[in-house]
Amino acid sequence: MKDYYYFLGISPDASEEDIKKAYRKLSLKYHPDKNDNDDFFADRFREIQEAYEILSDSAKRRTYDQNLENHQKSFRYNIPPSIKTFTANKIHAKKGEEIIINWQTSNADVVKVLPFGLEKPFGERIFKITEFKDGKFQILLHATNSLLHKTAVQGITITEVFENDGAQFKNSVEEMFKPQPSTRINRSGQPKIMMLIWGIIILAVALYFLVKNFA
């Protein structure tokens, strides 16, 4: 059963105003017209609209709350969630290549496949990878038993395959010169090549003083 409160990011005791605010915020964020009609955003937008339609109507919300409560009680609350299978048809792929993943969970009332979002307890999804990060694409399956507040997690890592050595070299060079996320060590987000150069300079200075002290 779909958790409409989760779709809108609100608690089950949310007020009508809370529901409206959450809907406005998320509908703007995920509207297909603002996201090049991407299927992922279109699916999330439909889920948000569906949730708002039910929760904004007091009669529909009461019925939904009763059904949700009965649904949750029907779960074997004393058994933690588990992931029976989570597989991909390939773990090495090129950009734009079609990937098929399958999963099956048990004792879970909230199931997410990241980065895609909420899914059924079992199913299949077909997608194409348009962007890898450091040559990898991570998929995570979260199976949650909300009554126990326990979650089982399993991941699949798909590594990038290049058409030829030249493409791989180009990608590596681009990665070296691409600005990096800010960290405690690299606060300004300098590219890897700059961090490497600074490392060489510091090492050279350290060696210089070391040799000088022994001279």
Going from the C-alpha of 105 to that of each of 24, 27, 89, 117, 189, the distances in angstroms are: 33, 30, 18, 15, 40
Last residue of one domain, picked from the residues 73, 104, 122: 73
Are 60 and 4 within 8 A, CB to CB? no
Query: What is the per-residue pLDDT for 134?
Result: 86
In DSSP terms, 178 is beta-bridged to none
Same domain, 143 and 199: no
| CATH assignment of the domain containing 121 | 2.60.40.10
Residues 91 and 133 in one domain: yes
pLDDT given at position 87:
95
Residue 109 and residue 2 in contact, taking contact as beta carbons nearer than 8 Å: no
What kind and span of H or E run contains 7?
helix 4-8
Q: How many folded domains does the chain comprise?
A: 3
Range of the domain at 60: 4-73
Exposed (0-12), middle (13-18) or buried (19+): which is 19, by Cβ within 10 Å?
A: buried
Q: Do 64 and 116 fall into the same domain?
A: no
pLDDT for res 167: 52
Q: What are the mean pLDDT values of the chain's consecutive 10-residue runs (215 residues total)?
A: 84 92 90 78 87 94 88 68 94 91 90 88 89 91 87 94 61 66 71 78 80 71
Q: Do 25 and 11 have their domain in common? A: yes
Instruction: Judge if 99 and 145 occupy the same domain.
Output: yes
Dihedrals phi, psi of 198, to nearest 5 degrees: -60, -40
Please report, as a single letter, which amino acid is at residue 53: E
Tell me which of 73, 100, 126 is where a domain ends.
Answer: 73
Q: Is 195 found in the same domain as 179?
A: yes
pLDDT at residue 175, as a whole number: 67
